[in-house]
Structure 1
């Protein structure tokens, strides 16, 4: 679990005070990895830079990649004689996952792709802080950093991945575009559905999942005031992330990984594209999803898989079926008798 959390509107401005005790010396900077959406003088002035601290603006338009992590790590190692004091990720899931991965690879040898899997990280990561600017991914709380590698999309899942410090400031989410707000919020909602309906469910994950599900319904089916909705969705993201950290996600996420790997589709919208067709597996959740989509006037893209070749479908199936833990959570230990490449292709063909 994340050992230290600060929550509150305007709490981002406490970041400098939170980092100060962790500064090793004036030659060991903090490296801020920031979504380039915030590349403007006003926001830059709010980042608490001292000495030779560095801000690296990064686009979040594409999913984070293992080669991107390696490039950032090499850039930092070449620029400084000693390891930085820490890494600060500011942005959505892409930036938060990149920051977690970079902090791991700065203290562990080799390439990022070598650590894709479960508990492969042998050394503690560099001190790292997460500041989410959009709510729903749960990346701020999870023990994984999901990356597109040369052969698969898979997380670096370890006890050293989790952030050392998280700052939850709902004010940072006020500029999120409506469609992105919905897609990322649905990532959280789908976390809850897949966790609560999964075979890995336990009392710990259930308590977090139920609260996150409740908050999602209040935000997307109720009529909360703007600030109240921002606060609640940020808490839903946190609780949803905690729920899957102690259980697992399911079919929508497994299939979304395939879409992301082959077609580069972002995670949030990928989950939505898949989940709308999963009423046979999550009937109540899918019904609520359609209510939420209709209430907010969201139109999902169609025909995404209309022109795919058989080889494309084979890749989608291979990547998705490779997420064995997700299928086991969704369908049980005998999941292979319930899902195969042919059935999966039928589902993908609807998207």
Structure 2
């Protein structure tokens, strides 16, 4: 077999306690006018005020848009960009959770290339580089600081939509785990579960690298040796520290592990992609209006059980990264124990066990399956293929909490 790998990452990743203090130095390399996207909550914190003051002290003019909303409603992006029209920024800085970073990506895109946001839905629709983006996450989950994707909600569509292009990748990911110390336990759990799902789905994704033009045609190209490296690092860090960070938000070591885990998971799935757990969450989230991380994590053990017959070794290796012993176990036993451990971990941090607990109506199970099956960019990444009957069985199993039924 010819070795194939692909990876797309920011020009620079800076990680560590206190890294927010170098923001002025980083920004100064890109110009003197910074348009900042954040949300109302973080904009009201003393930490944000200190960051803005430090930029101004470095003679960098700033314009702040602090009205980013969850899931980035489409029309809110136009409002944001209109605010920047007379400012003529040299760069965009996103500070906040995944929605703030996605808003910054969309702002950089429209400021650079104009048009409507919906002109860019899908893969490779962005015609060229955008304004440099500096991404400063304040939660540890989405990995948006390193990924080529922005997810938004469009009132004309039932499901959330994505813009996927290497041109959306931030120039700099500046990650300071101290910014997550005040993140409440519930959000820590949801974001961290999202990150672990990213890592496991990227590591167990289909291996599709037979066509040398694949990365030129698709943003997500399946697992490879490079994405596996980042995925396993993420699984290790999240496995050892996510519960700790949820129990004690002041644990700086645990916070650093979880933020590094989310970052590494983003490095993995930003090229490898995610799979069926994410595909099912899109319609589930549209119907239940529950957090993305809750939905993907609820689905993950069932998807792993569905994939067990074709990804036994990868799932067993996931367990080893989580710290489970493999001595004396067959690969099948180790893989089964891994699925049990993922379910246990998610249960310990408050992730619902079934789609019914998420609020999915019983009469929407088949509709959910139909919608999930239609999300080709995710379904083609799943290591075990689907038809509509298989997807209906999987969604019904996750609705009922029947792990055995997920394997059929």
Q: TM-score band (shorter)?
A: 0.7 to 0.9
- Residue 156 (structure 1) aligns with: 163
The answer as to whether partners of 1:279 and 1:287 remain within 8 angstroms in 2 is: no
Residue deviations 1:250-288 (CA, integer Å, cap 9, x gap):
111111122233333221122123235445225555422
The answer as to whether partners of 1:37 and 1:59 remain within 8 angstroms in 2 is: no
Q: After TM superposition, give the deviation of residue 12 of structure 1 in Å.
A: 0.5
- Residue 260 (structure 1) aligns with: 285
Q: After TM superposition, give the deviation of residue 56 of structure 1 in Å.
A: 1.8
- Residue 202 (structure 1) aligns with: 224
Residue deviations 1:153-186 (CA, integer Å, cap 9, x gap):
2321111100011111110010011111111111
- Residue 177 (structure 2) aligns with: 170
TM-score by length of 1: 0.86
Q: SS where residue 130 of structure 1 aligns?
A: strand
Q: Does 1:211 align with 2:262?
A: no
Q: After TM superposition, give the deviation of residue 304 of structure 1 in Å.
A: 5.0
2 CA distance for matches of 1:285 and 1:329?
21
Match of 2:380 among 300, 323, 328: 328
- Residue 314 (structure 2) aligns with: none
Q: Does 1:32 align with 2:36?
A: yes
Distance verdict in 2 for CA 1:285–1:96, change over 3 Å: farther
Match of 2:296 among 264, 271, 286: 271
Alignment of 1:65-76 (within 5 A): 65-76=73-84
2 CA distance for matches of 1:285 and 1:106?
46
Q: How many residues align?
A: 339
- Residue 13 (structure 2) aligns with: 5
1 CA distance for matches of 2:60 and 2:230?
41
Q: Does 1:132 align with 2:137?
A: yes
TM-score by length of 2: 0.75
Q: Does 1:290 align with 2:315?
A: no
The answer as to whether partners of 1:3 and 1:164 remain within 8 angstroms in 2 is: yes
Match of 2:149 among 128, 137, 144: 144
Residue deviations 1:18-67 (CA, integer Å, cap 9, x gap):
1123225xxxx31111132223262323322456521222355x312222
Distance verdict in 2 for CA 1:53–1:209, change over 3 Å: same
Match of 2:396 among 342, 346, 350: 346
1 CA distance for matches of 2:119 and 2:374?
17
Q: SS where residue 97 of structure 1 aligns?
A: helix
Distance verdict in 2 for CA 1:256–1:188, change over 3 Å: same
Residue deviations 1:311-340 (CA, integer Å, cap 9, x gap):
x556534542232121121145x5336634
2 CA distance for matches of 1:178 and 1:248?
27
Unpaired runs of 5+ residues, structure 2, are: 1-8, 207-221, 308-335, 402-408
- Residue 239 (structure 1) aligns with: 264
Q: After TM superposition, give the deviation of residue 345 of structure 1 in Å.
A: 5.0
1 CA distance for matches of 2:66 and 2:299?
31
Distance verdict in 2 for CA 1:189–1:325, change over 3 Å: same
- Residue 198 (structure 2) aligns with: 191
- Residue 328 (structure 2) aligns with: none
1 CA distance for matches of 2:358 and 2:351?
17
2 CA distance for matches of 1:295 and 1:344?
23
Residue deviations 1:123-169 (CA, integer Å, cap 9, x gap):
21111110001112111111111122232423211111000111111
